[in-house]
Structure 1
Amino acid sequence: MSVVIVGTLDTKGEEIAFARDVIEAEGLDVHLVDVGVLGDPEIDPDTPASDVAAAAGTTLEQLREDEDRGAAMEAMGEGATAICQQLYDDGVLEGVLGLGGSGNTSIATTAMRSLPVGVPKLMCSTMASGDTEPYVGARDVAMLYSVADIEGLNQLSRQVIANAALAMVGMVANEPDVEVEERPTIGITMFGVTTPCVQQARGLLEDRGYETIVFHATGTGGRAMESLIEEGVIDGVLDVTTTEWADELVGGVLNAGEERLEAAGEAGIPQVVSTGALDMVNFGPRDSVPEEFEERQFHVHNPQVTLMRTTVEENVELGEIIAGKLNDATGPTALVLPLQGVSAIDAVGEDFYDAEADGALFDTLRSEVAENGVELIEADAHVNDEAFAQLLVETLDGYMQEVGAAPTDG
């Protein structure tokens, strides 16, 4: 068994050597990937920095001559990604550990995010106590705060680095006792305000023999689902909650990027899509909402989450965007509209009930969805009604049967 350590051996050689020794003392092999560009390595690497640079289509000499630290970090991240992927394909990499400050954290986690979910990934970093989203992204990257800077060995750094090394040993050396069933897997998107729908749908799907993975539609959740679709982990999609597009369009904090709603269509797998939580844009605490939105309608979900109602105009744009994404799909695709409301707070008597805004969304989708490519289904129900969940499941299960991907014993 082998652990790959990604580090800048020109500045962190002593600390990385200590981590290597801890791991090797536990009986595992270590492969050192040097991503330092400033000078000669303090300890011998298994993959030298020159090879990492070459994997990114450049040279160490060029990176040093350019004197552009940002460009050098980007290149070494690209090279480390290629190296780690090759080591994984060759069976050398069974876990990857990174140690360092902002530079190596960026490089090492770039490589980590390229590896499949389930491969142990741990970054011991000075950056681990702040906003870790740029480093973790939509992958299972674990981050351990180093407390002090990783600069020299002392009573504190030895303990933290040893803990990181032993954590990696534990993950690599111990096969998890996890039951794995070969069942068709359905990706489902959920928000708090669409939870009743998803819980009912998940139960119905599992009763029919499907495995389900639920993604919280918080930006990273949507990106994670799209990524796993691309990897072939997910066989069908029940995209109940497309709210991330509202944040992408308006400027909320939970956007999933412009590629959201593309992976299933490109992969040609069955997808059933709805309009869950498109009535809202997400922000942090109430006082964090940009001043430009001050006159809008808000709902304080909790002290850390403030929701803003989408307008008629925004819903027209959302309808155009979603229809455009679905029209490009190459596999069976349905768009199911809950005409009585798209979230728990978008129902008669609730804070975000707005028949005009919802109507603008539905009318736009009706006019923009391609009749020859997308099945448009309208339900006189609320998104959280049991009947709506049943309709979603029956539609998706029908598509899965059509393409021969349904459970054989469901």
Structure 2
Amino acid sequence: MTDRTILIVGTYDTKDDELNYIAGVIRGQGGGVVTMDVSVLGDPTEPTDFSKHDVAEAGGSSIQAAIDSGDENTAMQIMAQGASTLVSRLCADGRFDGLLVLGGTMGTDLALDVCNAVPLGVPKYIVSTVSFSPLIPAERLPADVQMILWAGGLYGLNAVCKASLSQAAGAVLGAARAVEKPDTKRLLIGMTSFGKSFLSYMVALKPALESRGFDVAVFHATGMGGRAFESLAAQGAFACVMDFATQEVGNFINGSAIHAGESRLTAAGRAGIPQIVSSGCYDLVDLAGWQPMPEALQGLPSHAHNRLLTSVVLDAPRRRDVARALAERVAGAKGETVFVLPTQGCHALDRPGADLCDPDGLAAFVDELTKVCPDNVTLKALDAHINDDAFVDTVLATFDDWLARGIVPRP
């Protein structure tokens, strides 16, 4: 008897030994295994539970079509489409409890699509030679994916790569045994923020919303947190969105690597989820503190948050650029959207007398956003700071109005 079953996906024509090794470790720990081959040219030493033909056909194609394409990239995209479709179907049928995908750059490209086909709460692990690499764009990462570096794994089994593979096998099986899946019966509100020293509204808002019967998930909007937030919004996981820390948009348009993709601040709107938006830390661009300052941002004031993170303070013209970028992203929203604009500042360090205070820059941002705010968005200019009680009160008044009118469902 096995208590949890792990689906293992990989190219069995080139990584047969490694994939079978992982399966052996999982079985040795009492887990079950289902295997899926996403090869194109070769065959495994032993049949897999789902063959490469099953995979290609699930995506509406065939192995012959992949071969005839004459291009490795095109062929693997055919397999990625088929594997994603098949894995989604198997997940819905309850055929596995956790997912592990193994690969180099080709396999990782496919793995990202496959893992995005599996919902939050189902453990999903990518074992890759390029884990943690800047090759992997933030917008392709699922909200709860785990990545393990496949050290020494370019070709064949060895003592180094066995250490990585065995840990990956134990990790996915352990996660499948331990995971507490989200309670979808309790309505969820998604909120973005930073630490309490910068943005403090969540301290009052979270218990207030919980007292109304909602669960509240607060996402740290430093690139990956915003990506997870967008991913879940796209899946319709939220009953309402409170997207107050939208700095990742400014990061993106100013060339920072600490961003959540071009589509940040769009998923909730596309899904028709009611959203209250604000401008927390709009004036800052986060950069990796250990990298040289980009030439385009040199000469601007900066704040070293820690050894990992430095924030550059934008000047007035760049703040106007951010205002336009925010407006463009909410313009496509299909659901009710309110933008609460605190005209006295948007983080702890821009209050009067604080280190990053720039009244002229703030005035430029407020002026530009007021001019370009789209017609589908209700703009609520608030003569207060984002960390004032008035901000929380305005948000709750909007939310309670939506509850009364049925825009947000009642728990």
Structure 1 length as normaliser, TM-score? 0.89
- Counting aligned pairs with the same residue, the percent is 34
- 1:131-142 mapped onto 2 (5 Å cutoff): 131=134, 133-134=136-137, 137-142=141-146
- State the secondary structure of the residue aligned to 1:214: strand
Question: Using the alignment, how far apart are the partners of 1:159 and 1:264 within structure 2?
Answer: 41
User: Residue 12 of structure 1 aligns to which amino acid in structure 2?
Assistant: K
- State the secondary structure of the residue aligned to 1:308: strand
Shift of 1:6: 0.3
Q: CA RMSD, aligned part only?
A: 2.7
Unmatched runs of 5 consecutive residues or more in structure 2: none
Q: Is this contact kept in 2: 1:122–1:143, CA < 8 A?
A: yes
User: Residue 49 of structure 2 aligns to which amino acid in structure 1?
Assistant: D
Question: Using the alignment, how far apart are the partners of 2:75 and 2:236 within structure 1?
Answer: 33
- Alignment partner of 2:353 out of 349, 352, 374: 349
Q: Does 1:122 align with 2:128?
A: no
Q: Does 1:16 align with 2:6?
A: no
Question: Using the alignment, how far apart are the partners of 1:245 and 1:154 within structure 2?
Answer: 44
Distance 1:219 1:401, change over 3 A: farther
Shift of 1:243: 0.9
Shift of 1:131: 4.8
Q: Is this contact kept in 2: 1:14–1:42, CA < 8 A?
A: no
Paired residues in the alignment total 406
- State the secondary structure of the residue aligned to 2:126: strand
Question: Using the alignment, how far apart are the partners of 1:154 and 1:296 within structure 2?
Answer: 50
- State the secondary structure of the residue aligned to 1:302: coil
Q: Is this contact kept in 2: 1:2–1:29, CA < 8 A?
A: yes
Structure 2 length as normaliser, TM-score? 0.88
- State the secondary structure of the residue aligned to 1:188: strand
* 1:221 corresponding residue in structure 2: 225
* 1:42 corresponding residue in structure 2: 45
Shift of 1:326: 3.0
Distance 1:177 1:123, change over 3 A: closer
Q: Does 1:190 align with 2:193?
A: yes
User: Residue 112 of structure 2 aligns to which amino acid in structure 1?
Assistant: T
Question: Using the alignment, how far apart are the partners of 2:329 and 2:133 within structure 1?
Answer: 34
- Alignment partner of 1:241 out of 237, 240, 245: 245
User: Residue 364 of structure 1 aligns to which amino acid in structure 2?
Assistant: E
- More displaced stretch, 54-63 vs 138-147: 54-63
Q: Does 1:80 align with 2:83?
A: yes
1:152-198 C-alpha deviation (Å, 9 max, x unpaired): 444554454333323333333x3646794843211111123643122
- More displaced stretch, 103-112 vs 212-221: 103-112
Question: Using the alignment, how far apart are the partners of 2:166 and 2:263 within structure 1?
Answer: 40
- State the secondary structure of the residue aligned to 2:348: coil
Shift of 1:25: 4.6
Q: Does 1:299 align with 2:321?
A: no
- State the secondary structure of the residue aligned to 1:5: strand
- Alignment partner of 2:329 out of 320, 325, 330: 325
Q: Is this contact kept in 2: 1:183–1:210, CA < 8 A?
A: yes
* 2:7 corresponding residue in structure 1: 4
- Alignment partner of 1:166 out of 167, 170, 194: 170
User: Residue 127 of structure 2 aligns to which amino acid in structure 1?
Assistant: C
Unmatched runs of 5 consecutive residues or more in structure 1: none
Question: Using the alignment, how far apart are the partners of 2:164 and 2:299 within structure 1?
Answer: 49
Q: Is this contact kept in 1: 2:249–2:322, CA < 8 A?
A: yes
Q: Is this contact kept in 1: 2:144–2:228, CA < 8 A?
A: no
- Alignment partner of 2:71 out of 68, 73, 78: 68
Question: Using the alignment, how far apart are the partners of 2:180 and 2:301 within structure 1?
Answer: 49
